[in-house]
Chain A
């Protein structure tokens, strides 16, 4: 069975500090990977997606970057956090070869920027 693990579960960071959020998918080879962001009370927005190692497409510009260093790993990062980065970050995957648009989500990482 496929499992998706996000880390950290929650983080409190200062404005201007760096950030790294991670996501690992086990039990599925070559998945499509996605990062989503949800401001408190806001709409879930797609930030990035990746269909293969080393290739990441940006959907929404939020002064964040993403990388896919391994087939099963997706990293979201920034050098300098803004207050507006606070929210809930969700990683998701979908099957690559038989893509029916089904997304499977992790449990999320809650980020508070002070």
Chain B
């Protein structure tokens, strides 16, 4: 079973400064990676999806994937207080037909004005 570790557990940044979040996974069977955001007591909102090594940008959110080093990161450009939430990385192995999804525990991001 895929194990997903996120770091840091919590992060505080000032409004406008870059926020960087990290995610490592236990094996290279997944080829389907996503970053989600969860505001307190709410459902998950997908931010960016990435399927191959390299970079994928969606607005202010950029994901970097390096499957050789089992690492995917999320960078948030010009974060705002409304970006304060828990950020979850998730992955799904293609050999399960994308029926099984594995999530990290999350990074709690606080953006201070």
- CB–CB A102/B97 < 8 A: no
Do B43 and A105 touch across chains, with their CB atoms under 8 A apart?
Answer: yes
Tell me the nearest residue of chain B to A43, going by C-beta: B105
Asked if B42 contacts A101 (CB within 8 A), the reply is: no
Distance from B27 Cβ to chain A, minimum over Cβ atoms (Å): 17
Q: B75 on the interface (CB 8 Å rule)? A: no
In which size bucket is the chain B interface? 20 to 34
Q: Are B43 and A57 in contact (CB-based, < 8 A)?
A: no
Chain A positions 45-104 with a Cβ under 8 Å from a chain B Cβ: 45-46, 49, 51, 57, 59, 88, 90, 92, 94, 99-104
The reply to whether the CB of B44 lies closer than 8 angstroms to some CB of chain A is: yes
Number of A residues near B (Cβ < 8 Å) is 26
A51 to B98, CA, bound (A): 11
For A94, list chain B residues within 8 Å (CB): 98
> Which chain A residues lie closer than 8 Å to B43 at the CB level?
90, 105-108
Question: A43-B105, A102-B34, A108-B42 are contacts. A59–B100 as well, Cβ < 8 Å?
Answer: yes
Asked whether, in the complex, the Cβ of A43 is within 8 Å of the Cβ of B104, the reply is yes
Residue of A nearest to B105 (CB): A43
Residues of B near A99 (CB, < 8 A) are: 97-98
Residue of A nearest to B32 (CB): A101
Contacts of B100 in A (CB 8 A): 46, 49, 59
Given contacts A45-B103, A101-B34, A101-B92, 18 further A-B contacts (CB under 8 A): A32-B99, A43-B103, A43-B104, A44-B103, A51-B99, A94-B98, A99-B97, A101-B32, A101-B101, A102-B46, A103-B34, A103-B44, A103-B101, A105-B36, A105-B43, A107-B42, A107-B43, A108-B41
